[in-house]
Amino acid sequence: MANPNKRQGTSWESSIRDFLNKVLGLVDEKGRLLNPFDGMNVRRVAQEGSRDVGDVHAVPFVLEAKDVAKETVPTWIRQAETEAGHAGFPFGVVVHKLRRANVRAGKVHVGVRTWTRVRLVLGLSSREFYDQYRFTFSVRGLDTGKWYATTDLERFAVLLADVRAEMGGSRATD
């Protein structure tokens, strides 16, 4: 791979995939998938041209991975939500790499509509959802399309496991 930016992005996507598979208990101690055919495995996906389906699939979420210095979060969230639709998934989120930090510290950005829909799947009040997953909010002007919530990848992994359990999928083994 000649393009260093592409290599950097691929590495970030792989780190996200590997971290989530480990936290969700989907790999053995050597990092190998316990069941390669399990639809709940977190996977990097091949790009689909003009109908991009996101970078990482973690059913029921499409994750758009970003390893760049300049943040344009509302634009990224729109991209993630569009790509989730292309992939047939209900939720699209962005995972932004923090420089010189462990993958678990990556910032997960979620649009307010997605935040609300996920909260309702879990049957939690806004306060309960906030307390459990520690989202912070960015509100920019009166345009709610630019508002978003942020947590870290470690808390998102717990959220992912909880949403899967609520929707009838697998849950991490403790």
All structural domains of the chain, each given as residue ranges with its CATH number in brackets, are 4-166 (3.10.310)
Residue 171 has pLDDT above 50, yes or no: no
CA dist 49 and 172 (Å) reads 33
Looking at residue 173, its amino acid is T
Mean pLDDT over 6-24 rounds to 92
CA dist 68 and 125 (Å) reads 34
Q: Note the pLDDT of residue 2.
A: 62
Give 87-130 pLDDT, tens digit per residue.
999 999 999 999 999 999 999 999 999 999 999 999 999 999 99
What pTM does this model have?
0.91
The answer to whether residues 94 and 84 touch, using CB atoms and an 8 Å cutoff, is no
CA dist 65 and 142 (Å) reads 27
Closest CA to 115 of 82, 87, 79, 151: 151
The answer to whether residues 166 and 129 touch, using CB atoms and an 8 Å cutoff, is no
Mean pLDDT of the chain, nearest integer: 91
Percent of the chain clearing pLDDT 90 (strictly above): 80
Main-chain phi, psi angles of 152, to 5 degrees? -100, 165
Rg (CA), the chain: 15
Give 44-76 pLDDT, tens digit per residue.
998 766 789 999 999 999 999 999 989 999 999
Helix axes 126-133, 153-166, angle to 10 degrees: 130
Residue 36 has pLDDT above 50, yes or no: yes
Q: Note the pLDDT of residue 143.
A: 81
Residue 172 has pLDDT above 70, yes or no: no
Give the SS3 label for residue 36: coil
Q: Note the pLDDT of residue 3.
A: 74
